[in-house]
Amino acid sequence: VKKVSRGYEAKAEKVKQAAVLGAGIMGGGVAYQSASKGVPILMKDINESAIQLGLDEANKLLAGQLKRGRIDAAKMATTINRIRPTLSYGDFATVDLVVEAVVENQKVKAMVLAETEQHIADDAVLASNTSTISINALAKSLKRPENFCGMHFFNPVHMMPLVEVIRGEKTSDATIARTVAYASAMGKTPIVVNDCPGFLVNRVLFPYFGGFSGLLQGGADFRQVDKVMERFGWPMGPAYLLDVVGIDTAHHADEVMAAGFPERMSHEGESIIDRMFSLERFGQKNNKGFYRYE
Ligand code: NAD
């Protein structure tokens, strides 16, 4: 068998100090996961209340572990102390890898990445947790695009094992290697994929949602479809999954997929995701999606 180099066999230095930009759902999750696995992390946001929410979430998860007897109080304290909240870039000079997890807006991300690049070491890695924005497009805002890649976690970060490591055209092997090593150190399963709309997972998931939409348009009941897919062996059906992901997030990703693969992914008329979006039934985040949440 011919051995194909995937680039990430390059020897990676261990990430000793990480940072995350954004203390939201994903940033807070990344901080918790990194700290739990022993890698200290700076957690930067632009407002104090967001940082507090990120810390509260980490504390809540650790308290759950403590209650179940998986960790003791000392371990809980050590873990939480590994998360250093900050509103500034002070101390970013010593960081090996930065995960960018700010809002899903290309202009904001480009600005934040370019700003961060000025505060980190020349060989530090910058990795974006974007779900839908092209890594090559974001790389254009950087002076050192070779040190940049995607690092796409799934929500909730502490539960979802997969991480897509996305290689842009200019990403170096060393950058991929370090990002893969960090994902592994976090207890995750990294896969390396090229930059394209939807990366890998969403290219599988969105045609599936398209099939689900077609079933409902044909008169199927979403509860029945969910039950069938659970019997098929999946942990949850498509309606519940969309509620967890967030219909607004799914709607945006659906548009990106349709623009990226017009012959396969664009659809005529209103899909079920469009319909739910226009009804502002965003799923668990606003307590009403396919199901109701109180
Ligand atoms: P969120 O809105 O919960 O959090 C974003 C955080 O970024 C906020 O706390 C905000 O204050 C902060 N922020 C904004 N500008 C900033 C700046 N200049 N510097 C530092 N912090 C800043 O968003 P989220 O759901 O955590 O998503 C973050 C990223 O992760 C997005 O790119 C999103 O597409 C991606 N993502 C989200 C999910 C998901 O299910 N939520 C899954 C995978 C990837």
Q: Are 163 and 183 in contact (CB under 8 A)?
A: yes
Query: Which of 41, 88, 100, 103 is the best mutation target for the ligand 1 pocket, counting ligand atoms within 8 Å of the beta carbon and taking the most?
Result: 103
Q: Is the distance from the beta carbon of residue 25 to the nearest atom of ligand 1 less than 6 Å?
A: yes
Q: Is the distance from the beta carbon of residue 283 to the nearest atom of ligand 1 less than 6 Å?
A: no
Distance 53 CA to ligand 1 centre (A): 13
For residue 222, how many other CB atoms are within 10 A of its CB? 18
Q: What is the pLDDT of residue 77?
A: 96
Q: What is the pLDDT of residue 269?
A: 85
Q: Is the distance from the beta carbon of residue 50 to the nearest atom of ligand 1 less than 6 Å?
A: yes
- Which residues are known to be catalytic? 152
Q: What is the pLDDT of residue 7?
A: 55
Distances (CA, A) of 193 to 150, 152, 169, 176, 201: 9, 11, 11, 10, 10
Q: How far apart are CA 150 and CA 133, in angstroms?
A: 10
How deeply is 66 buried, as exposed, middle or buried, from its count of CB atoms within 10 A (0-12, 13-18, 19+)? middle
Query: Which of 102, 119, 256, 284 is the best mutation target for the ligand 1 pocket, counting ligand atoms within 8 Å of the beta carbon and taking the most?
Result: 102
Distance 11 CA to ligand 1 centre (A): 31
CA 45 to chain centroid, in Å, comes to 17
Distance 116 CA to ligand 1 centre (A): 16
Q: Which domains does the chain have, with CATH numbers?
A: 18-194 (3.40.50.720), 201-283 (1.10.1040.50)
ipTM here: 0.98
Q: Is the distance from the beta carbon of residue 131 to the nearest atom of ligand 1 less than 6 Å?
A: yes
Closest ligand 1 atom number to CA of residue 50: 9
Q: What is the pLDDT of residue 267?
A: 84
Mean pLDDT per 10-residue segment, the chain (294 residues): 55 89 94 98 96 94 95 96 97 97 96 98 98 97 98 95 97 96 97 96 95 95 98 97 94 94 88 96 95 93
Q: Is the distance from the beta carbon of residue 116 to the nearest atom of ligand 1 less than 6 Å?
A: no
Q: What is the pLDDT of residue 268?
A: 82
Task: Write b or e for each residue in 1-35: b if 16 or more Cβ atoms lie within 10 A of its Cβ, otherwise e.
Answer: eeeeeebbebebeebebbbbbbbbbbbbbbbbbbb
Q: Is the distance from the beta carbon of residue 255 to the nearest atom of ligand 1 less than 6 Å?
A: no
